[in-house]
Structure 1
Amino acid sequence: MKLSICFLLFATSVLAQKPFGQNPQVGKYATIRGFNMYYESYGSGEPLLLIHGNSGSIADFTNQIPFFSQHYRVIIADNRSHGKSIDTKDSLSYEMMADDFAGLLDHLKIDSAQVIGWSDGGINGLLLASRHPKKVKKLAITGANLTPDAGVSVDPWVVENENHYVDSLSHLPASLENKRLIKLHHMMQVQPQIRPSVLAKIQCPTLVIGGDHDVIVPRHTLEIAELIPKSYLWILPNSGHSTPIYYKDIFNSIVLDFLKSPYRKIEKHAKFF
């Protein structure tokens, strides 16, 4: 009992000392596929990989790390070309980033993990589960899309806004930071391009999440769930894209229940209950 209390106090102090993404006590670098990937790890037990979205960082999951580290060994990295994971190459794709996370798990000698992805992190999660199926035990994604098409998968205003933003960046003085931002946002203009057959390869249980007023069209979120063989669908009412922030408590609770509970196939008479 005393050991458990001491460990809890130590874990709490580590969580409290530095902001997530800026914690030298737990932060490390791994050489992954040609760049240095920065990651942090919290808690112990079964591994849980968190993947943030475009232009984000480890800090995006500030509301999730303390909660899930009570149940799992939480592993979270700055994606390629984000935060401290600097990559100056011109090319970038979701497939590259999905393979990066497979490489990170290999580096950590983790055969498979639970995975939570938000926005572009959800896209990376889908590709990780399809390209490296043995790496993902269960997958929860929120605000993911299969294409960048206006009105079909993404709110038309968002597409228009991205176009204006990239155009404005292209007129600014050249710098490494502007080059990085153009690379990230141009990727969102033309990617992803995920075919339905790719989702059919996902064999792990998957929870597909979205807001009813998400920048991702809700019917597209439904389409993603329908294409994955073992899926649940959860559309939050009165919600936009930032479900892990504005609905953090219910988000954490529902996702944890999904991760902890066996997948239930619902058919025939079970659909009445």
Structure 2
Amino acid sequence: MKTLHALIAFLFLLIALPVFAQNFEKDMDTTMYGRNKAVGKYAELRGIKMYYEVYGKGEPLLIIHGNGGSINNFVYQIPYFAKKYQVILADSRAQGKTVDHADSLSYEMITDDLNALLEHLKLKNVNVIGWSDGGIEGLLLAINHPDKVKKLAVTGANLRPDTSAVDPFVQKAVLATNIKGADSLRRMKNPTPEMKNQLKLMHLLSYEPHIKTSDLKKIKCPTLVIGGDHDVITTRHTLEIFENIPDAYLWILPNSGHATPLVYKDMFNQVVADFLAKPFRKISGYGRFM
């Protein structure tokens, strides 16, 4: 049991280390976001009770967290965007307050959950911001439910789980942790539901997604593709995503890792807000000189 806990803790630190190095955990631990009894609700959909919160008024904006994350990950984005938008956030399946006891988990399942939430809220379409796994789900939402996405901004998203997309050190560490964790779980007589859930999330991180570049060409909404120049997702892969979406902008942040919405929160909020507010501009021909 101690071994499995250690492995889970290692993976968590591996993913969240840039966050903790900057001491952002204090703001996440003390914020009302993700635990706000005044606005928090559950939607019964697709066999789960999805926890969600809504802030502000205006054009709807869905913000999606990453693997093992929660609503509180966007402590810096919620108050900023709620001034102009109706901000919708949910704890994804098997994460945060949204419990899921099923053995399997996929990005497609989470994406369909989010689509069902939008239908539950009677929203025809929304703008979307997705971070990490949330970026993957944002891409899938735009691919599989194109009518639901008006504009899309993704940071730290990937199409594949291998080293053509993920930094080799990170990919190797995550995969090894998943294998060791699964082995430890098999040796246990009575693993807790929490342990099973953590391994399910690790498995998702290790072996998915599998999105074809040809699928990206189906995305019709204007898209802002974001990454850090030292992200866990390689810059060449972020470029690949950008190049295969018909109407896309690319933003690579210098001196940045994976936690762009936290480490560069002010710049991130401003650039994404400008992208959402302004009409998409096709740039070609002589326009490239401007």
TM range (shorter): over 0.9
Matches within 5 A, 1:1-273: 19-150=32-163, 152-170=164-182, 171-172=184-185, 173=188, 174-273=191-290
1:154-177 alpha-carbon deviations (Å, 9 max, x no partner)? 011111111232234231541111
Q: Within 2, Cα distance between the matches of 1:136 and 1:192?
A: 20
Q: Within 1, Cα distance between the matches of 2:242 and 2:70?
A: 26
Counterpart residue identity of residue 138, structure 1: K
Find the residue that maps to 1:163 and give its secondary structure.
helix
Identity %: 58
Give the aligned partner of residue 9 of structure 1.
Answer: none
Q: Please list every run of at least 4 consecutive aligned residues from structure 1 whose deviation after the TM superposition is greater than 3 angstroms.
A: none
1:203-245 alpha-carbon deviations (Å, 9 max, x no partner)? 0000000000000000100000000000000000000000000
Q: Within 2, Cα distance between the matches of 1:154 and 1:256?
A: 28
Q: Within 2, Cα distance between the matches of 1:32 and 1:208?
A: 30
Q: TM-score scaled to structure 2, two decimals? A: 0.87
1:47-84 alpha-carbon deviations (Å, 9 max, x no partner)? 00000000100011111000000010000000000011
Counterpart residue identity of residue 20, structure 1: Y
Find the residue that maps to 1:216 and give its secondary structure.
coil
Find the residue that maps to 2:80 and give its secondary structure.
helix
**Range 236-245 or range 17-26, more displaced:** 17-26
Find the residue that maps to 1:49 and give its secondary structure.
strand
Q: Within 2, Cα distance between the matches of 1:108 and 1:261?
A: 26
Is the CA contact (8 Å cut-off) linking 1:49 and 1:113 kept in structure 2? yes
Is the CA contact (8 Å cut-off) linking 1:145 and 1:153 kept in structure 2? yes
Find the residue that maps to 1:213 and give its secondary structure.
coil
Is the CA contact (8 Å cut-off) linking 2:136 and 2:158 kept in structure 1? yes
Number of residues paired by the alignment?
256
Is the CA contact (8 Å cut-off) linking 2:39 and 2:54 kept in structure 1? yes
Counterpart residue identity of residue 50, structure 1: I
1:196 CA displacement: 1.1
Find the residue that maps to 1:238 and give its secondary structure.
coil
Counterpart residue identity of residue 182, structure 1: L
Is the CA contact (8 Å cut-off) linking 2:31 and 2:75 kept in structure 1? no
Give the aligned partner of residue 11 of structure 2.
Answer: none
1:18 CA displacement: 5.7
1:68-125 alpha-carbon deviations (Å, 9 max, x no partner)? 0001000000000001100110111111111111100000000000000000000000
Give the aligned partner of residue 11 of structure 1.
Answer: none
Q: Within 2, Cα distance between the matches of 1:198 and 1:169?
A: 33
Counterpart residue identity of residue 155, structure 1: D
1:139 CA displacement: 0.1
Find the residue that maps to 2:129 and give its secondary structure.
strand
Q: Please report the RMSD computed on the Cα atoms of aligned residues, expressed in angstroms.
A: 1.1
Is the CA contact (8 Å cut-off) linking 2:127 and 2:149 kept in structure 1? yes
**Structure 1: which 5+ runs fail to align?**
1-16
